[in-house]
A and B are shown apart, each in its own frame.
Chain A
Amino acid sequence: MKKLLLLVFILSISVGNSQTEIQPNPHKNWYEPEDSETVFFGLSFYFPNGIGDSSLGNDYSFDAGIQFEVNVFITPQFVAGVYGKWHEGEVTNIEKIGNISDSNFSEYGLSLGYYQAINRQFNYMITAGIGAVTLNNTVPFSPDSFRENGTSYKVKGELGYRFNQTIAIFAKVSPYYLNLDIENDAYDSYLNKHFLIDLGFGLRVHLHNPNG
């Protein structure tokens, strides 16, 4: 019995050792074959554009915005991420939206994406995301802004260029549908259903697992 226990113990140790010695197969998406990609942070500037016949498309002039995101590789090709983005828009015509001078847009959301290296330097990523949007509207005579909320459904395409294992830059295009919840039957579509597109560029920082 003691011999049997000793044998099981020795086998378990040897199996354990053999498992730790197995090296994962390098994936094409990995910049260094020995370091799997695990997470990257993105900071980007973007320019929002309204592309539909809606209040955001017709009655606003948007400033450049900023977006921060974190993406984690679930597999070597698929990523899950969280993001936050912020921009401001000045109202150019109050006739169809009311006397708002400007609005601050903030959005927080989740995304799932597909990351593919074209070669060692170039890569692309396609993501789909959903976000909660808040508009802080400023009224000229009312010191307290009032808020309105909505949901954003988006896709995003990014083309990246890696300088090294850690630093990359990227350009992006992100069309999205923003659905607000402003009550007005007569102008429901005009006030609530918006198609927009963000064009931007940014910087990525890739981090890796210690020891690959």
Chain B
Amino acid sequence: MKKIYVAVIAVLSLSFSSCYNDDVLITENKRMAVYATLLDSNNLALQDIPVNVTTNFSDSYNILGASSSKALGKVDFISLISYNRGIVVNFNPSSSENHNSNFTSLSYVDPREIMDRAEKLDLELVQLGAIQDVNISIDRLPETDSVEFQIQYYNTRQFISLDEENNPIGKYQNTSNTYERLDEEMTSFQNSYRLPVGSPIKIFYTVNDEAEKDTTITVNSANSIIDLEF
């Protein structure tokens, strides 16, 4: 009787374990062709920029396919697909050894785990922005007791949803924030950022615990140094 009981438990355990499989499962007898034309923000073709397809937001794990842009910025390659994972098409992934640090990274995300994924994904025109080094300094004026501020800026890697209606990309995924408070102990703040040219830097600040105000500065080649005083 004890043997039967153990056998039943073993069979049930195996049955339940087979229901959940954490492995990436590749769709058999199917491939996806990826097409795009890669341009910079001045509509000039970008050549030799790496491109890959991954199963999740990481641009280095579970690479299903990879290539690089050719003459005239043409991207044309084949990727595997998985039926128990989504796809993310990464342009200029930072994990690639051919990553071009002068340009942003852009990822198109489709998290759907589907069997009948399309055989062709044509992203048409894809633009990568240039990256600018920006030094931001914020000082507390002698007459100010305290300054609290939040610097909100766009990341050098941006996400775009391929299924925006059902799986939108939240703004928090494309932006980052720095929070700081200046007072008698800390009178100034300074930091350097790598930011996409043309993207806004939004600074929310509160002086002497009064109402919050904000100011926006757009990143361009002329403003690599931003000095603010409150």
Q: A94-B66, A141-B61 are in contact. Are A187 and B28 (CB under 8 A)?
A: no
Q: Mark A101-139, 1 if CB is under 8 A from B, else 0.
A: 000000000000000000000000000000000000101
- A140 contact set on B, CB distance < 8 A: 63
Q: How far is the CA of A105 from the CA of B163 in the complex (A)?
A: 38
Name which residue of chain A comes closest to B64, CB basis.
A99
Q: Are B78 and A98 in contact (CB under 8 A)?
A: yes
Q: Are A144 and B25 in contact (CB under 8 A)?
A: yes
Q: How far is the CA of A149 from the CA of B29 in the complex (A)?
A: 8
Q: Are A183 and B29 in contact (CB under 8 A)?
A: yes
- A100 contact set on B, CB distance < 8 A: 80
- B119 contact set on A, CB distance < 8 A: 183-186
Chain B contacts with A in 99-127, Cβ cutoff 8 A: 119-120
Q: A95-B66, A187-B31 are in contact. Are A146 and B26 (CB under 8 A)?
A: yes
Q: How far is the CA of A122 from the CA of B27 in the complex (A)?
A: 50
Q: How far is the CA of A186 from the CA of B34 in the complex (A)?
A: 10
> B82 to chain A: closest CB distance in Å?
8
Any B CB within 8 A of the CB of A7: no
Any A CB within 8 A of the CB of B212: no
The total of chain B residues at the interface (CB under 8 A) is 24
- A95 contact set on B, CB distance < 8 A: 65-67, 77-78
- A97 contact set on B, CB distance < 8 A: 31, 78
Pick the contact of A139 from B29, B31, B80 — CB < 8 Å? B80
Any B CB within 8 A of the CB of A182: yes
- A147 contact set on B, CB distance < 8 A: 28
Any A CB within 8 A of the CB of B32: yes
Any B CB within 8 A of the CB of A19: no
Q: How far is the CA of A185 from the CA of B63 in the complex (A)?
A: 22
Name which residue of chain A comes closest to B122, CB basis.
A186
Q: A184-B33, A186-B33 are in contact. Are A98 and B79 (CB under 8 A)?
A: yes
- A144 contact set on B, CB distance < 8 A: 23, 25
Q: Are B24 and A141 in contact (CB under 8 A)?
A: yes
Chain B contacts with A in 61-81, Cβ cutoff 8 A: 61-67, 77-80
Q: Are A181 and B29 in contact (CB under 8 A)?
A: yes
Interchain Cβ contacts under 8 Å between A and B, 12 examples:
A98-B65, A98-B78, A98-B79, A137-B26, A141-B61, A141-B62, A144-B23, A184-B31, A184-B32, A184-B119, A184-B120, A191-B78
User: Which residues of B are in contact with A by a Cβ distance under 8 Å?
Assistant: 23-33, 61-67, 77-80, 119-120
Closest 6 CB pairs of A and B: A98-B80, A146-B26, A186-B33, A184-B31, A183-B30, A95-B67
